[in-house]
Amino acid sequence: MKNFTKNIDTPAVLWLTGLSGAGKSTIAIGVQEQLLAAGNKVCILDGDELRRGLCSDLGFTDADRVENIRRAAEVARMMVNSGTLVIVALISPFRTDRLLAAKRIGESRFLEIHISTPLEVAEKRDVKGLYQKARAGQLKNFTGIDSPYEIPESPALTITTTDESAEQSVERVLSLLKNTSLFL
């Protein structure tokens, strides 16, 4: 992987959205490593981590998902305002919620990145057994099984993880950043 050498001039939010098991966290970590190595302030807000802490009181109903995204967007907005590039890695299944997050953060500082993976591939990658539990009726409102995922209509970037390696995906995100006005 090439080293990323640019410094962030205008902090922003990279909002990675996709099914559970799509590769959001893997890509987020790879991007973070490259940006940190170049001396940038960067933080990941990962859906699993948020659910264990800030959003531990929320379930997976539509209303709880809306609140989960609202909280993540609010934290991301505060971090961006403090000069940090934020990588949000959340399923965030509903377009409306992602649009509201972009408005809360500031649309010029929000880059939506769709991590596209077919459901059958995401299920095969599922080390936690969540899809199996959802199919067995043990998990309700699970995205892709009994709750919909709304594909972004015009993301800044779409990454199909079945077509490239994690390293290639990270490079594509870094290329997107290099081609925006966020850098010196």
d(CA 44, CA 173) in angstroms, rounded, equals 14
CATH of 13-118+151-178, one of 3.40.190.10, 3.40.50.10490, 3.40.50.300, 3.30.465.10: 3.40.50.300
Decide if 165 is catalytic.
no
Cβ count within 10 A of residue 5? 11
d(CA 41, CA 10) in angstroms, rounded, equals 11
- Choose, from 25, 92, 147, 169, the residue flagged as catalytic: 92
Rounded alpha-carbon distances, angstroms, from residue 121 to 11, 45, 116, 144: 33, 24, 10, 12
DSSP assignment string, 107-125: GGGEEEEEEE--HHHHHHH
pLDDT for the residue numbered 141: 87
pLDDT in tens, 122-168: 989 888 888 998 898 898 888 989 889 999 999 999 999 999 999 99
**pLDDT band for position 5 (50/70/90)?**
low
Is there a contact between 72 and 117 (Cβ–Cβ < 8 Å)?
no
pLDDT in tens, 65-113: 889 999 999 999 999 999 999 999 999 999 999 999 999 999 989 999 9
Tokens 């098991």 sit on residue: 21
